[in-house]
Structure 1
Amino acid sequence: MSINDWIAPDAMKGKVVFITGGGSGINLGIGKTFARVGADVAICGRSLERLEGAARELEALGARVSASVADVRDYDALAAALETSRRELGSVDVLVCGAAGNFVARAEAMNAKGFRTVVEIDLLGSFNASHAAFGQLKETRGSILFISAGQSVMPFVGQSHGGAAKAGIDNLMASLALEWGRFGIRSNALVPGAIAGTEGMKRLDEAAGEDTWTSMIPLGRYGGTDEVGAMAVMLSLPLSSYVTGTRVVVDGGMALSGSGLYNRAVSLPALERLTKMPPR
């Protein structure tokens, strides 16, 4: 089912959405959903090849696109990407802080560099994007969407680094909702669950099989990037004009059963190789 069955294709016409890490995965899916309802989309990331491919996909949906190579850990590069976006598309109405890095590693087997890398990409990168976009968001009275995760509030084996980073993002989201509300800027977090086709789920499927993971989900299936995108659009429309400081979970009910099944699954020998994967 298309988002246009529920939301008019021009619902966000004239609006500009800037997405960090927008070249692939959930973030690109969010960008495509915004494009389907009329928004223009700016994306940044570290891979020019990915950005060029993503830009073509977004343009095919009718969006004007601005694509810039920028690492979210580099504030100046990110600020330059936002300025390029402003020049090419106009001031940002919606900022999606989606850039992330992760890998599976038990705390005793992880070094400080690996821990720091994830925190810097996820948490520092989200702060950098929000801070660099503040002037534009103040001008448009726009909104920020942070991409969080279930481990921000619940411990998962092999995710001490990811959990710490995402917990920080949740607190940053709430802090900005509190501080920047006076400028008309709303701040919320999306919490995706198991989403089909993403790099992380492909690796987990190879290691333990889809049935292992869907058995943890009350709805009995993976979600789609379009379903995450649909909620991103909803939180950006005037329909949600009084919603700020909120975590919106899009996980098919997965968090309701806790992390016990996942924790047992990642103890399987088949998953041991995942602990050797470096941060992206």
Structure 2
Amino acid sequence: MRIATILLAGSAMLTAACTSLTSPEPVVLPNAMEDYVLAAVVSPARPEADTARDEARKPEEIVLFSGVQRGDVIAEIAPGGGYYTRILAQTVGPEGKIYALMPSFFASRPGGLDGINAIAEQYGNIEVVVVEGYDTLTLPQQVDLFWTTENYHDLANGDIAAVNAGVFRNLRPGGIFFVEDHSAPGTGTSATSTLHRIDPAAVVDQVTAAGFVLEAESDVLHNPADPHDASPRDFDGVSDKFALRFRRPE
């Protein structure tokens, strides 16, 4: 379903040099991607529950690392509460688009789509797509970027080869597959269903086996104090996470 409403992206953007977020004065639209991303992160449209998580999740650094560009069409796998959906929608702007790919088991729950639909009503460039399985996914168009944060380990509990093949198929040549998740180094895939983490080396092996090329790694979310022996929900602190940027060859 496509829910169109008032688009906040672009029209309310602010740079670091701008005055108050509530200023009635016209704002100067940014030109660099750094400015677009910063404007999306500091946007007053984001709820306090999201901004309270920014210190741990470092969204500005992560979005910049991912390679998102103005005008991109992005497929976001399992957006959950929409933490990144809001940021990505404003970053790509009115000429871009977000496919919010919601798993069908979520949609089948009473009110399961209420949250993501509310976000779609807030922006004009989000289309909510209910998917039976990411392994059989077919989108209306090839996208510029696939995005998954903190849920690749769940996908790895199923037919991950088919999922990665589906991402490859629905991504344009030269497009990006961005993966961020909780780290369990040296464990392969043995911790995916128990500790809800995954070995980044296993992700690299699986994604490159689908035909992607690993382009870059980021340690901006690395936490050496994490012993990797508990679920992120049970760990008393910020879990150690990795971020990987893959590219489909031209």
Structure 1 length-normalised TM: 0.46
Distance 1:97 1:267 in 2: 22
User: For 1:257, what is the secondary structure of its paired residue?
Assistant: coil
Q: Which has the higher helix share?
A: 1
1:150 alignment partner in structure 2: 183
Residue 112 of structure 2 corresponds to residue 50 of structure 1: yes
2:77 alignment partner in structure 1: 20
For the structure 1 residues 136 and 69, does the alpha-carbon distance in structure 2 shift closer, same or farther, using more than 3 Å as the test? closer
1:259 alignment partner in structure 2: 227
Q: Which has the higher strand share?
A: 2
Q: CA shift at 1:57, angstroms? A: 0.8
Q: Are the equivalent residues in 2 in contact too, given 1:17–1:96 (CA < 8 A)? A: yes
Query: Which amino acid in the other structure matches residue 180 of structure 2?
Result: I
Query: Which amino acid in the other structure matches residue 90 of structure 2?
Result: R
Query: Which amino acid in the other structure matches residue 18 of structure 1?
Result: A
* Aligned residue-pair number: 167
The structure 2 residue matched to 1:180, chosen from 199, 211, 217, is 211
1:26-45 superposed matches below 5 A: 28-38=82-92, 39-42=96-99, 43-45=101-103
RMSD, aligned CA: 4.2
Query: Which amino acid in the other structure matches residue 167 of structure 2?
Result: A
Q: CA shift at 1:146, angstroms? A: 1.9
For the structure 1 residues 175 and 257, does the alpha-carbon distance in structure 2 shift closer, same or farther, using more than 3 Å as the test? same
Q: CA shift at 1:29, angstroms? A: 1.6
Q: Are the equivalent residues in 2 in contact too, given 1:97–1:129 (CA < 8 A)? A: no
Q: CA shift at 1:20, angstroms? A: 1.8
| Post-superposition CA distance 1:21-56 (Å, at most 9, x none) | 1132xxx22222211112411122231233342133
Amino-acid identity (%): 9
| Post-superposition CA distance 1:46-99 (Å, at most 9, x none) | 312333421331441332313214344xx33xx2xxx2xx32xx3221112347
Q: CA shift at 1:13, angstroms? A: 3.8
For the structure 1 residues 140 and 33, does the alpha-carbon distance in structure 2 shift closer, same or farther, using more than 3 Å as the test? farther
Q: Are the equivalent residues in 1 in contact too, given 2:185–2:198 (CA < 8 A)? A: yes
1:235-254 superposed matches below 5 A: 243-244=215-216, 246=217, 248-251=218-221
Q: Are the equivalent residues in 2 in contact too, given 1:14–1:40 (CA < 8 A)? A: yes
Distance 1:260 1:120 in 2: 17
**Runs of at least 5 residues in structure 1 that lack an aligned partner in the other structure:** 102-118, 188-242, 269-280
Query: Which amino acid in the other structure matches residue 86 of structure 2?
Result: K
1:134 alignment partner in structure 2: 168
Q: CA shift at 1:142, angstroms? A: 0.8
Consecutive aligned runs of 4 or more in structure 1 exceeding 6 Å deviation: 260-263
For the structure 1 residues 262 and 149, does the alpha-carbon distance in structure 2 shift closer, same or farther, using more than 3 Å as the test? closer
Q: CA shift at 1:160, angstroms? A: 7.4
**Runs of at least 5 residues in structure 2 that lack an aligned partner in the other structure:** 1-12, 17-33, 41-67, 237-250
The structure 1 residue matched to 2:129, chosen from 34, 57, 67, is 67
| Post-superposition CA distance 1:126-146 (Å, at most 9, x none) | 543321121232x34111122
User: For 2:158, what is the secondary structure of its paired residue?
Assistant: helix
Query: Which amino acid in the other structure matches residue 93 of structure 1?
Result: D
User: For 1:171, what is the secondary structure of its paired residue?
Assistant: helix
1:228 alignment partner in structure 2: none
Distance 1:22 1:267 in 2: 23
Q: Are the equivalent residues in 2 in contact too, given 1:40–1:63 (CA < 8 A)? A: yes
Structure 2 length-normalised TM: 0.50
Query: Which amino acid in the other structure matches residue 158 of structure 2?
Result: L
2:146 alignment partner in structure 1: 95
1:109 alignment partner in structure 2: none
